[in-house]
Structure 1
């Protein structure tokens, strides 16, 4: 997985963001640990399953709906099915080897 260190991406408060399979990390971060790399790898797999554009459309729509529901942007973000799957499994470096296709569905 390619990691690019940037002054601009992700926005402050986040350590990394995965855009089209490339991970951008804050330049002030010393390096990304295995947990973050696994988390972002889960997102890459989700993107592939939804042909990338489908992932982003779903992600934004679900975030908006959850923002309306929870009235808090961060709570909405943490409850997106893609994020829930990634956070629940980012401590297991073998997760992607045994993960079933479309596993994020069970986090809806």
Structure 2
């Protein structure tokens, strides 16, 4: 399992009780050891990694428009932050509506896609579904 950092200090510091793993800028950081880290969790975080890459490509396109057409120099951060901006905005809107942060977490489109596809590795190859570019949009 590549790009997984076990017993990570960042994950231990920032993740609440009940959460053990996070995808952070394409890296998978976990509180767990290599022996206790499950394949399902790995697949879930890999889907987030693909979502991050999708948002980076979309952010790159938006950056080019904003940087050259509008002369917005700060747009260079868009490819690296668009995933987190969209995640946070959706989380805040749903928190205002639902007022239960645990339900909100499970209803975010990025999480819904990841939970939906995390067990696909157990299916035969011919029946497997996989992440599609901007596939999280259908979960809105």
Q: Give the structure with the higher percent strand.
A: 1
Which residue is equivalent to 1:39? 44
SS of the aligned residue for 1:83 comes to helix
Aligned residues: 107
SS of the aligned residue for 1:56 comes to helix
User: Is residue 31 of structure 2 the alignment partner of residue 3 of structure 1?
Assistant: no
Offset of 1:99 from its aligned partner?
3.0
Moved more, 63-72 or 28-37: 28-37
Q: 1:72 to 1:28 in 2, by over 3 A?
A: farther
CA contact (8 A) 1:39 1:89 kept: yes
Distance between the aligned counterparts of 1:75 and 1:28, measured in 2?
28
SS of the aligned residue for 1:50 comes to helix
Q: CA RMSD in A?
A: 2.0
Runs (5+) with no aligned partner, structure 2: 57-79
Runs (5+) with no aligned partner, structure 1: none
Moved more, 98-107 or 83-92: 98-107
CA contact (8 A) 1:9 1:24 kept: no
1:64-103 alignment to 2 at 5 Å?
Answer: 64-93=92-121, 98-103=130-135
**How high is the TM-score relative to the length of structure 1?**
0.87
Q: Which has the higher contact order (CA 8 A, sep 6+)?
A: 1
Offset of 1:9 from its aligned partner?
4.3
Q: Deviations over 1:43-72 (max 9, x none)?
A: 000001111411100000000011111101
